[in-house]
Homo-oligomer: A and B are copies of this chain.
Amino acid sequence: MAEKGVTPRAEDYSRWYTDVVQKTELADYSPVRGCMVIRPYGYTLWENVRDGLDRRFKETGHVNAYFPLFIPMSFLQKEAEHVEGFAPELAVVTHGGGKELDEPLVVRPTSETIIGHMYSQWIKSYRDLPLLINQWANVVRWEMRTRLFLRTTEFLWQEGHTAHATEQEAVEETIRMLGVYTDFAVNDAAIPVIQGRKSEREKFAGAVNSYTIEAMMGNGWALQSGTSHFLGQNFAKAFDIKFLNQSNELDWAWTTSWGVSTRFVGAIIMAHGDDQGLILPPKLAPYQAVVVPIWRKDNERAGVMEYGERVAQTLKAAGIRVKVDGREELSAGFKFNDWEMRGVPLRIEVGPRDVEQNAVVFARRDIPGKEGKTFGVSVDGVAQATQDMLDTIQAAMLERATTFREANTRTARSYDEFKQILEGEGGFIRVHWAGTGEDEDRIKEETKATIRCFPFDGQGDGGTCFYTGKPAKEVAIFARAY
C-alpha cells in the first residue's frame, strides 16, 4: 500500500524508476544476486504482453514448443562468435544428483544451439520447411550491474527460432517478425518504436544482421525493446541443419531468431510514467478501470458500494478488466493517489449524487485534474462509454509519446554539435554516418552514446559523416541507452 509518492523524475530519474517498480508492487528484489521477483501486478502486465505477442505469432503461422534449460558447454563452442559473445555471462551447473558432471551444463542464455541441434534431426527435406517455432522461457545471463526488469540475471522472454529453405525467405521472416514487434509496441503498448538495423558492434553474437525496435524513455534515453536476427547459415553449419532441396541436393538451412523479454515492461514504465507513477496503456493494463465508491456518512456506504459493484459487473460482462476498491479504512483521496500511482488508465468515481442521477464520473490517468474528468456519464451505456474512453486514452498515449520522441530527436552535423546535444537536452541524435567500429567505440567511450540503429525510415541520398567528415550513405540514430 502506498504511503508516500515516488521520487520526482527531474530529481533522480533512476530513483524514480526504482520507486515506481517497487511501490506499485510490480517487482521486488530477491535474495538471489541479480534476480528479481515479479509480483502479481507486474506479472499480470507481463501476461498481457505475452498474450498480445503470442496471438500475433500464431496469426503468422508460428507454434510454441519447449527446449531444455540446460545446454552442454560444448554446444556453445560450435559457433565461434556465439560462444565469444556469451561466455562471460554464463551460469554453469557442475553438480547434479550429488555428483560432479562429466561435462558442465550451461543454463541457457539463449537457445540457438540446443534448438539448432534438434532442428538438425527434424529437418530432412524442403517439405519440413519452413519450421516456425517459438518458445516462452526463462534465460540466465550473469550481468554485473542489474536493474529491475531492464537487466536481471534471470529474465523471462520468448525466443522465436525459424528455419527456411532460402536466404530470401529467412530475411523476409526476420523483417516480418520485427514488424510484428512494431505492431505490438505501437498498437498495444502505445510506444512509437523506431525500426532499424543494428551496427556490427551491437549485433547478436553469431548473426549476419540484427534488427531492433528502439523506444525512447522519459529521460530521452533509448531502450532496445525487441530484436530480430538473420543468422544466415551460421548456425545451420555449426549444427549440421541440412535438407534435401527441390532439386534433390543437400543444402544448409537458413535460420532466424527473435526475442522480446520482461525488459519490455521497463519500456512501458519509462515511456509513459510521470511524477505520480505509472501510466499503463489500456490494452495491457492489469486493471483498465477502477471503480472508487465515495461516501461520507456511514448510511451512504451500502448504496454507493452496491451501485459501484453493479457498474463493475456491467463492465466485466463487456470484457473490461475492472476492480472495485471497497477498502473501508482508506479515504477516497488516498485511493485516488494509490490507483494513479499504479497507472490504472481510468478511474470511475461513484458518490451518493451519482447514484441519484444514475451516472458516474470518469477521471483519466493520462490527463491530471479537472481537465481529465467527465461528469455525469450515464450508467445506461456505461460499458460502451468506458470502452470508447479507453480507446481515446490508448490513442492519446501513443500520440503523446510520439510527440515527445519527435521533440527529443535532433540532428547533429558535427561531433561538437553531437556532444553539445548530449550534454544538453539529450534524446535521440540523427546523423550521417560513415565511421568504423573503432569510431563507434571511441564515441561510446567519450560520450556513452551508441548507435541504436540505422533506421528503416529516413535513409536518404547521403551526406557528410558527422564524425569522420567522409561521404556517408547511411543515417544512424545515436543515443544513450539502457
Is A64 touching B47 in the complex (CB atoms < 8 A)?
yes
Q: Is the CB of B32 within 8 A of A114?
A: yes
A90 neighbours in B (Cβ, 8 Å): 95-98
The closest CB in chain B to the CB of A94 belongs to B94
CA distance A142 to B96 in the complex (A): 6
Q: Is the CB of B66 within 8 A of A156?
A: yes
- Whether B88 lies near A98 (C-beta < 8 A) is yes
Are A94 and B97 closer than 8 Å at their CB atoms? Answer: no
Known contacts A90-B97, A91-B95, A107-B107; A40 and B63 CB within 8 A of each other? yes
Q: Are A40 and B64 in contact (CB under 8 A)?
A: yes
Closest B residue by C-beta to A143: B97
Interface flag for A334 (CB, 8 Å): no
Given A97-B88, A97-B89: A67 and B142 within 8 A (CB)?
A: no
Whether a CB of chain B sits under 8 angstroms from the CB of A87 is yes
Q: B38 and A66: CB pair below 8 A? A: yes
**A110-158: which have CB < 8 Å to B?**
114, 117-118, 121-122, 133, 137-138, 140, 142, 144, 153-154, 156
Contact B63 A44 (CB under 8 A): yes
Chain B residues whose C-beta falls within 8 Å of the C-beta of A49 in the assembled complex: none
A336 contacts across to B, CB distance below 8 A:
none
Kindly report which residue of chain B lies nearest to residue A286, judged by CB atoms: B63
Chain B residues with CB below 8 A from A142, complex form: 96-98
Q: Select from chain B the residue with minimum beta-carbon distance to A95.
A: B92
A127 to chain B, nearest CB (A): 8
- Contact indicator B94/A31 (Cβ below 8 Å): no
Q: If A65-B37, A92-B96 touch, does A71 touch B114 (CB 8 Å cutoff)?
A: no
A68 at interface (Cβ–Cβ under 8 A)? yes
Q: Which residues of B contact A64 (CB under 8 A)?
A: 40, 43-44, 47
CB of A105 closer than 8 Å to a CB of B: yes
- Do the beta carbons of A32 and B66 come within 8 Å of each other? no
Residues 54-77 of chain A: 1 if any B CB is under 8 Å from the residue's CB, otherwise 0?
Answer: 000000000111111111100100
Chain B residues within 8 Å of A44, by CB: 63-64
- Distance between Cα atoms of A122 and B25 in the complex (Å): 10
**In the complex, how many angstroms separate the beta carbon of A339 from the nearest chain B beta carbon?**
17
Q: Is A359 an interface residue (CB 8 A)?
A: no
| Bound-state Cα–Cα, A93 to B37, Å | 19
What chain B residues lie within 8 Å of A117 (beta carbons)?
31
A441 in the interface (beta carbon within 8 A): no
**B-contact 0/1 string along A240-272, CB 8 Å cutoff:** 000000000000000000000000000000000
Say if the beta carbon of A190 comes within 8 Å of chain B.
no
Does A36 sit at the interface, judged by CB under 8 A?
Answer: yes
List the B side residues contacting A95 at CB < 8 Å.
90-92, 94, 104
A241 to chain B, nearest CB (A): 14
User: Chain B's nearest CB lies how many Å from the CB of A268?
Assistant: 17
Shortest distance between the CB of A8 and any CB in chain B (Å): 27
The answer to whether A35 has its CB under 8 Å from any CB of chain B is yes
Complex contacts, A140 vs chain B, CB 8 Å? 69
Minimum CB–CB distance from A33 to chain B (whole Å) comes to: 8
Q: Which residue of B lies closest to A71 (CB)?
A: B32
Asked if A39 is at the interface of the complex by the 8 Å CB criterion, the answer is yes
The answer to whether A28 has its CB under 8 Å from any CB of chain B is yes
Least CB distance, A354 to chain B, in whole angstroms: 28
**Contact between A70 and B114, CB atoms less than 8 A apart:** no
Q: Does A30 contact B (CB under 8 A)?
A: yes
Contact B92 A93 (CB under 8 A): yes
Is A37's CB under 8 angstroms from B67's CB? yes
Query: Is B97's CB under 8 angstroms from A32's CB?
Result: no
Closest to A97 in B: B142
Contacts of A66 in B (CB 8 A): 37-38, 43, 46, 156
Q: Which residues of A contact B (CB under 8 A)?
A: 28, 30-33, 35-40, 42-44, 46-47, 63-72, 75, 87-98, 104-105, 107, 114, 117-118, 121-122, 133, 137-138, 140, 142, 144, 153-154, 156
User: Other CB < 8 Å A-B pairs besides A40-B64, A91-B97, A107-B107, 13 of them?
Assistant: A30-B114, A31-B114, A37-B66, A37-B68, A38-B65, A46-B66, A87-B98, A88-B98, A91-B95, A92-B94, A94-B95, A96-B153, A138-B138
13 contacts between A and B (CB under 8 A): A30-B68, A32-B72, A35-B68, A37-B67, A37-B118, A38-B65, A40-B65, A69-B140, A88-B98, A89-B97, A91-B105, A92-B93, A92-B94
